[in-house]
Amino acid sequence: MADNEQTTKSLLIDKYIYEALVSSTGESNLEKVIGDLLLEALESKVERYAREILKFEQKYGMSFSEFDKNWVAGKIEEKHSYEVESDFIDWEMLEMEKKELIVTLAKLRGRGRK
Protein backbone atom coordinates (compact mmCIF):
# COMPACT_ATOMS: atom_id res chain seq x y z
CA MET A 1 0.00 0.00 0.00
CA ALA A 2 1.34 3.46 -0.88
CA ASP A 3 2.08 5.95 1.90
CA ASN A 4 -0.65 8.29 0.70
CA GLU A 5 -3.38 5.63 0.78
CA GLN A 6 -5.54 5.80 3.87
CA THR A 7 -7.00 2.89 5.73
CA THR A 8 -9.90 3.13 8.12
CA LYS A 9 -10.05 1.39 11.46
CA SER A 10 -13.03 1.26 13.80
CA LEU A 11 -12.73 2.17 17.43
CA LEU A 12 -15.28 1.44 20.13
CA ILE A 13 -15.44 4.22 22.69
CA ASP A 14 -17.11 3.97 26.05
CA LYS A 15 -20.14 6.28 26.14
CA TYR A 16 -18.74 8.24 29.10
CA ILE A 17 -15.50 8.87 27.28
CA TYR A 18 -17.45 9.87 24.17
CA GLU A 19 -19.59 12.30 26.17
CA ALA A 20 -16.52 13.72 27.91
CA LEU A 21 -14.74 14.24 24.59
CA VAL A 22 -17.74 15.95 23.00
CA SER A 23 -18.61 18.10 26.02
CA SER A 24 -15.02 19.15 26.76
CA THR A 25 -14.19 20.05 23.17
CA GLY A 26 -17.57 21.08 21.78
CA GLU A 27 -16.69 18.96 18.75
CA SER A 28 -18.67 15.93 17.64
CA ASN A 29 -16.16 14.88 14.96
CA LEU A 30 -14.24 12.45 17.14
CA GLU A 31 -11.63 11.76 14.48
CA LYS A 32 -10.63 15.43 14.67
CA VAL A 33 -10.84 15.49 18.48
CA ILE A 34 -8.72 12.37 18.89
CA GLY A 35 -6.24 13.58 16.28
CA ASP A 36 -5.90 16.94 18.02
CA LEU A 37 -5.51 15.28 21.42
CA LEU A 38 -2.86 12.95 20.04
CA LEU A 39 -0.93 15.85 18.53
CA GLU A 40 -1.07 17.74 21.84
CA ALA A 41 0.08 14.68 23.79
CA LEU A 42 2.99 14.02 21.42
CA GLU A 43 4.01 17.69 21.43
CA SER A 44 3.95 17.62 25.22
CA LYS A 45 6.19 14.55 25.22
CA VAL A 46 8.64 16.20 22.83
CA GLU A 47 8.78 19.24 25.11
CA ARG A 48 9.33 17.03 28.17
CA TYR A 49 12.13 15.15 26.42
CA ALA A 50 13.69 18.45 25.32
CA ARG A 51 13.72 19.67 28.94
CA GLU A 52 15.35 16.44 30.08
CA ILE A 53 17.91 16.65 27.26
CA LEU A 54 18.69 20.25 28.24
CA LYS A 55 19.58 19.07 31.76
CA PHE A 56 22.20 16.72 30.31
CA GLU A 57 23.49 19.42 27.95
CA GLN A 58 23.89 21.79 30.87
CA LYS A 59 25.49 19.14 33.08
CA TYR A 60 28.09 18.17 30.47
CA GLY A 61 28.35 21.48 28.59
CA MET A 62 27.74 19.96 25.17
CA SER A 63 25.16 18.40 22.88
CA PHE A 64 24.63 14.64 22.81
CA SER A 65 26.40 14.31 19.45
CA GLU A 66 29.46 16.05 20.93
CA PHE A 67 29.23 13.90 24.06
CA ASP A 68 29.00 10.75 21.94
CA LYS A 69 32.06 11.74 19.87
CA ASN A 70 34.02 12.53 23.03
CA TRP A 71 32.84 9.24 24.56
CA VAL A 72 34.18 7.25 21.59
CA ALA A 73 37.42 9.26 21.64
CA GLY A 74 37.88 8.55 25.35
CA LYS A 75 37.64 12.22 26.31
CA ILE A 76 34.82 11.84 28.88
CA GLU A 77 36.11 11.78 32.43
CA GLU A 78 35.01 8.79 34.50
CA LYS A 79 33.15 7.46 31.49
CA HIS A 80 32.74 4.05 33.08
CA SER A 81 31.34 5.33 36.35
CA TYR A 82 27.75 4.35 37.07
CA GLU A 83 26.56 7.98 36.88
CA VAL A 84 28.18 8.81 33.55
CA GLU A 85 27.22 5.53 31.88
CA SER A 86 23.68 5.86 33.17
CA ASP A 87 23.50 9.46 31.91
CA PHE A 88 24.79 8.35 28.51
CA ILE A 89 22.15 5.63 28.18
CA ASP A 90 19.32 7.88 29.39
CA TRP A 91 20.43 10.80 27.21
CA GLU A 92 20.74 8.59 24.13
CA MET A 93 17.28 7.13 24.73
CA LEU A 94 15.77 10.61 25.11
CA GLU A 95 17.39 11.77 21.88
CA MET A 96 16.13 8.70 19.98
CA GLU A 97 12.60 8.94 21.39
CA LYS A 98 12.44 12.67 20.65
CA LYS A 99 13.50 12.12 17.03
CA GLU A 100 10.93 9.34 16.57
CA LEU A 101 8.18 11.53 18.03
CA ILE A 102 9.12 14.42 15.75
CA VAL A 103 8.85 12.11 12.71
CA THR A 104 5.46 10.86 13.94
CA LEU A 105 4.27 14.43 14.52
CA ALA A 106 5.32 15.43 11.01
CA LYS A 107 3.40 12.50 9.53
CA LEU A 108 0.29 13.29 11.59
CA ARG A 109 0.40 17.00 10.74
CA GLY A 110 0.75 16.22 7.04
CA ARG A 111 -1.95 13.54 6.89
CA GLY A 112 -4.70 15.91 5.77
CA ARG A 113 -2.62 17.67 3.13
CA LYS A 114 -2.40 16.47 -0.44
The angle formed by the CA atoms of residues 67, 70 and 76, to the nearest 5 degrees, is 90
- pLDDT score at 98: 98
Domain locations along the chain: 30-110
Mark residue 29 as left, alpha or beta (left: phi above 0; alpha: psi -120 to 50; beta: remaining): beta
Contact residues for 104 (Cβ-Cβ < 8 A; gap 6+) = 42
**pLDDT, average across residues 42-48:** 97
Q: What's the pLDDT tens digit per position in 67-107? A: 999 999 999 999 999 999 999 999 999 999 999 999 999 99
Check pLDDT > 80 for residue 6: no
Lowest mean pLDDT among 9-23, 34-48, 93-107: 9-23
- pLDDT score at 85: 97
pLDDT band at residue 56 under the 50/70/90 scheme: very high
